[in-house]
Amino acid sequence: MPSPEELKQRIETGIPGSLAEVEDLTGGGDHFSATVTAEAFAGLSRIEQHRLVYGVFGADIGGPIHALTLKTLTPTTISAP
Amino acid sequence: MSSPQFDPVPMAPSQGAGSTTAAPAPAEGEQQGNPIRDAIAEAIAEHRVILFMKGTPEAPACGFSARTVSILQSLDTPFAAVDILPDPRIRQELSAISSWPTIPQLFVGGELVGGCDIVTEMFESGELEQVLS
């Protein structure tokens, strides 16, 4: 069963320059929610952005990772703290 | 081996299930081509708004599918629905066509709009209504 930390690492490695926050939605290790911010998303449609993230996990989606809810952002859409 | 069957069910607003479209029957003996993939591509081309989901609009089998259905129903949009659960090959072939790994999948005008997350985001921003109109 993957952990949120592991998913975070895989996303940030698979999409260089990205920042991922991953939550286990049910505590069961197979339903996750990820918010990913990446320069790489700039100019891409939501579908294309989500495909980039799903692409990191390949066949794991629907398998060990039963559900991965995504929110994708580009750095410019985040307001300054 | 059972024949590949799925029936896109056109959902008119405030109505129950309408007429159904039968999938093409498989060839006897050797399998020619890919009847399930062809039937899926045809359904996507034929129905302007079509949702591939788990379960049916009256009885969704998963929370994400349920949420997507209720968004479409709240916009009063007619849509066709395909339950991917009866045959695992439906989901397989659909993902091959759309390059998208999860269910539900909403197509409008022959193009993938997205799954539950994207549909929800677009609904909240008003974009979905525009895409559907």
Do B100 and A47 lie within an 8 Å CB cutoff?
A: yes
> Domain limits of chain B?
33-132
pLDDT at B55: 97
Mean pLDDT of chain B, nearest integer: 84
User: B12 to chain A nearest CA, in Å?
Assistant: 27
Mean pLDDT of all residues in A14-34: 93
CATH number of A4-77: 3.30.300.90
pLDDT band of A27, cuts 50, 70, 90: confident
Q: How far is A47 from chain B (nearest CA, A)?
A: 6
Give the list of residues 6+ apart from residue B70 with CB closer than 8 angstroms, or none: none
Range A35-54 average pLDDT: 95
Mean of the pLDDT values across residues B97-114? 95
Q: Are strands A67-73 and A31-37 parallel, antiparallel or unpaired?
A: parallel
Per-residue pLDDT for A24 more than 60?
A: yes
Interface check B124 vs A, CB under 8 A: no
Interchain CB distance below 8 Å, B102 and A46: no
CB contact under 8 A, B118 and A51: no
Residue B70 and residue B132: Cα distance in Å, rounded?
15
- Is A28 a residue whose pLDDT tops 70? yes
CA distance A14 to chain B (A): 17
Q: What is the pLDDT of residue B67?
A: 97
pLDDT band per the 50, 70, 90 thresholds, residue B24: very low
Model pLDDT for residues A65-79, shown as the tens digit of each residue: 888 999 999 997 655
Q: Looking at domain B33-132, does it have CATH number 3.40.30.10? A: yes
Which residues in chain A have Cβ-Cβ distances shorter than 8 Å to B108? none
Predicted confidence (pLDDT) per residue in B30-89, tens digit:
456 799 999 999 999 999 999 999 999 999 999 999 999 999 999 999 999 999 999 999
Per-residue pLDDT, B13: 54
Confidence of residue A59 (pLDDT cuts 50, 70, 90): confident
C-beta separation of A34 from A69 below 8 A:
yes
Predicted local confidence at residue B4, as pLDDT: 42
**Greater confidence, B29 or B10?**
B10
Nearest to A54 among B91, B101, B116 (CB): B101
CA B60/CA B10 separation, integer angstroms: 16
pTM score of the predicted model: 0.82
Residue B17 at interface with chain A, using a CB cutoff of 8 Å:
no
Contact B117 A69 (CB under 8 A): yes
Q: What is the per-residue pLDDT for A80?
A: 54
Nearest to A36 by CA among A59, A62, A61, A11: A11
Q: Which residue has the higher pLDDT, B106 or A79?
A: B106
Phi, psi of B113 (to 5 degrees): -90, -40
- Between CA B125 and CA B101 the distance in angstroms is 24
B117 contacts on A by Cβ (under 8 Å): 50, 69-71
